[in-house]
């Protein structure tokens, strides 16, 4: 089945950076992304907490906007958009789960030495000046401490341990700060 007109128009709007296009894209396909992430984790017997599922789904969305919507620009339209996005989501999820499993293995080794190793974050993608300006506006809505943690983790790709050292915040509170910030940015708080 080829690309349907509705999806073709949605891709066109995203590639032309039309207002609201990305929100419409996310509204249309976020459920699919969550489903693929959960299914992929289940098939690998990898338990996902809700916040882990959100993090992996966010990595999938970052992959889609990477290089100014590079994956959408490469899409040839010879299949359904949902099928194409399923492949991107599955590959991204497998990579993310592999990284997390390796981090857990390191953590097990670190515990023997009374050390805790945190998951390494993915670097934020460079998806164009417009997206970066929007991120800047969103960050200004956060209190300074949360803003600093979000900036270091998502934009600079720092680990929890590096953030803890730089900001003098306990390592085990970084995840909670990020979760609170995500809620505020989504308008849930």
What pLDDT, on a 0 to 100 scale, did the predictor assign at position 135?
Answer: 66
The secondary structure of residue 152, as a DSSP letter, is I
Give the model confidence (pLDDT) of 92-113 as tens digits: 999 998 888 888 777 666 555 4
DSSP characters over 17-73:
T-TTHHHHHHHHHHHHHHHHHHHHHHHTT----HHHHHHHHHHHHHHHHHHHHHHHH
Give the model confidence (pLDDT) of 109-119 as tens digits: 655 544 444 44
Band of pLDDT at residue 121, cut at 50, 70 and 90: very low
User: In the predicted model, is pLDDT for residue 126 greater than 50?
Assistant: no
Is the CATH code 1.10.10.10 the one for domain 129-185?
A: yes
The CATH architecture one would assign to domain 5-112 is: Orthogonal Bundle (1.10)
Q: Which of 161, 148, 27 is nearest to 103 (CA)?
A: 161
3 versus 72: which is more confidently predicted? Answer: 72
Backbone angles phi, psi at 122, to 5 degrees: -80, 145
58 class by beta-carbon count within 10 Å (0-12 exposed, 13-18 middle, 19+ buried): middle
Which pTM value belongs to this model? Answer: 0.57
Contacts of 116 (CB under 8 A, 6+ apart): 107, 110, 161, 171, 172
Tokens of 89: 């989501």
Tokens of 87: 């492949």
Contacts of 39 (CB under 8 A, 6+ apart): none
Domain boundaries, the chain: 5-112, 129-185
Tokens of 167: 């900001």
What pLDDT, on a 0 to 100 scale, did the predictor assign at position 115?
Answer: 40
Cα within 13 Å of Cα(10), Cβ side = 19
| Same-fold call for 5-112 versus 129-185 | no
Percent of the chain past pLDDT 90, that is, above it, reads: 35
């Amino acid at each position: 089945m080829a690309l349907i007109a509705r999806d073709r128009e949605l891709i066109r709007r995203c590639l032309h950076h039309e207002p609201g296009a990305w929100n419409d894209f996310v509204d249309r396909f976020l459920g699919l992304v969550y489903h693929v992430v959960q299914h992929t984790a289940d098939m690998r017997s990898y338990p996902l907490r809700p916040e882990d599922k959100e993090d992996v789904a966010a990595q999938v969305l970052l992959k889609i906007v990477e290089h100014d919507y590079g994956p959408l620009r490469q899409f040839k339209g010879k299949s359904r958009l949902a099928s194409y996005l399923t492949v991107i989501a599955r590959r991204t999820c497998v990579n993310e789960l592999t990284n997390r499993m390796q981090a857990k293995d390191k953590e097990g080794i670190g515990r023997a030495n009374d050390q805790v190793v945190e998951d390494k974050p993915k670097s934020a993608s460079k998806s164009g000046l417009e997206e970066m300006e929007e991120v800047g506006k969103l960050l200004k809505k956060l209190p300074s401490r949360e803003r600093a943690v979000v900036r270091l983790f998502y934009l600079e790709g720092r680990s929890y341990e590096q953030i803890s050292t730089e900001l003098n915040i306990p390592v085990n509170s970084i995840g909670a700060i990020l979760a609170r910030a995500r809620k505020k940015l989504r308008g849930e708080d």
